[in-house]
Amino acid sequence: MLFNSLDYAIFLPIVLFLYYRLQFRQQNLLLLLASYVFYGFWDVRFLSLIFISTIVDYGVGLWLFHCDQTDRKHFKKLGVIISLTTNLGILGFFKYFDFFVQSADSLLSTFGLSTSLPVLNIILPVGISFYTFQTLSYTLDIYRGKLEPTKNLVDFALFVGFFPQLVAGPIERAANLLPQIQKPRVVSQDCFYKGVYLIITGLVRKVVIADTAGAIVDTYFANPGNFTGFQLTIGLLLYGLQIYGDFAGYSNIARGSAYLLGFELMRNFKHPYFSKNMTEFWHRWHISLSGWLRDYLYISLGGNRKGRVRTYINLMTTMLLGGLWHGANWNFVFWGFLHGLYLVVHKFYRQVFPYKDNVQKGFFYYSTQILSLGFTLCLANFTWLFFRSTDIQTTQKYLAGLTHFRIEPTGSIFTLLFLTLLVLLIDIPQTINDNEFTFLRFPVFWKIIFACAALLLLFFSGGGGNAPFIYFQF
């Protein structure tokens, strides 16, 4: 069910109406049922995969805790293996089977060999990457002794399937979400206002900014050879706005919906295009994923504890697998490689030229900060080419087109400037005050102006209607 659809506009108020009239335990049952309706609205068959992950990790969590209590710690690894095998096995089959078969076939064909491995054309279940990582974090945290399992199956099932963040995150940790599930919630006036505000800004980011940009971006990527390098650059910058608006918009609506239910989900974006280096970018972009990769992959590989070269290898490995997590496509792998390279170069640079304390903040300082911000923005936007391209051939054509750079008039630049202005109007006040809810402190007059402007933009938006969210494909 799309957040930007009439279906959700009907679904959410009905859930809220019932939710506010029930007791705590009844609320959890309602939310679990609503979550399964929300997910099954797309294809009820894939609910079976959520059921499997839920039952397996619920059982494994209890088993791990039992091993600790009965001093059978040598059996703990068996539980983790069961969890990893089940969850990653399901994810691997549905998301990567065809990819690896086709890649193996292409590799063997270069040596004059052929294979008869079948391509199954498997439909990818929406959100499988997200809830797989979420339920795995629960098992791994219990294994590491950071968490005690819940004995209530309904509570755990709701943790796995909570509908606001089920399909595209944020990827929640059990330590944050489970305690909120296990105790009564109070939807205060503050929570209600925050929820409404996040939903409105999320819809503006998605429908007005992302979908408007996406309609133009599609034309550039459909046939890059028909455009000049300048036009293709505009297209790439527009895609940078599209994916930010699309994914940050989803996260805002998810968190806003959760606030209306009395839950507080983690923040997934913190104005990433204001980053001054790529390390900072990953502290601001898709925060729940970058944190997951750091805690469960990078640190498990050794992190920065085994020397400089091993640190670089761990960083690169983490980002390569992070790229592959996004999709079964070599473009995503190369996207991850570029980000890994950026992080390695930045870490090396900071080891050679460490930050200095008590730097005088004069003209030179602020000039370098602005240049760093612009350079980081260029690096990040260049990588979106590989993220957006559907195949290697499109990537090659787009790269070739970028080399034929000549400035020609194009109406797309005005769209780019307008959408950039909208992003800045949302992001700058939040950044200056270091508070994403700073607008709620404004006088009533400005709140009314904001609400009217947002509704008008949504009404007159030229976006593509109920366009699906980009991250649904992951």
- Cβ atoms 326, 343 nearer than 8 A: no
CA distances, 221 to each of 11, 37, 214, 217 (Å): 35, 35, 10, 6
Quickly list H helices, 70-152: 76-109, 128-143
- Cβ atoms 24, 184 nearer than 8 A: yes
Peptide bond into 125 cis (omega under 30): no
Lookup: tokens for 240 = 């940078």
In this structure, which long-range contacts are made by residues 282-289, counting pairs with CB atoms below 8 Å and at least 24 apart in sequence? 282/339, 282/343, 286/169, 286/247, 287/170, 288/169, 288/170, 288/171, 288/172, 289/133, 289/169, 289/171, 289/322, 289/325
Q: Is 331 helix (H, G, I), strand (E, B) or coil?
A: helix
Residue of 66, 283, 286, 326 marked active site: 326
DSSP 8-state symbol, 112: T
Measured CA to CA, the distance from residue 68 to residue 82 in angstroms comes to 17
* CB contact set of 51 (below 8 Å; sequence gap of 6+): none
Tracing tokens 């050879």 back to the chain, one arrives at 225
Known catalytic membership, residue 286? no
CA gyration radius for the chain?
Answer: 23
Measured CA to CA, the distance from residue 195 to residue 210 in angstroms comes to 21
Catalytic positions, please?
326
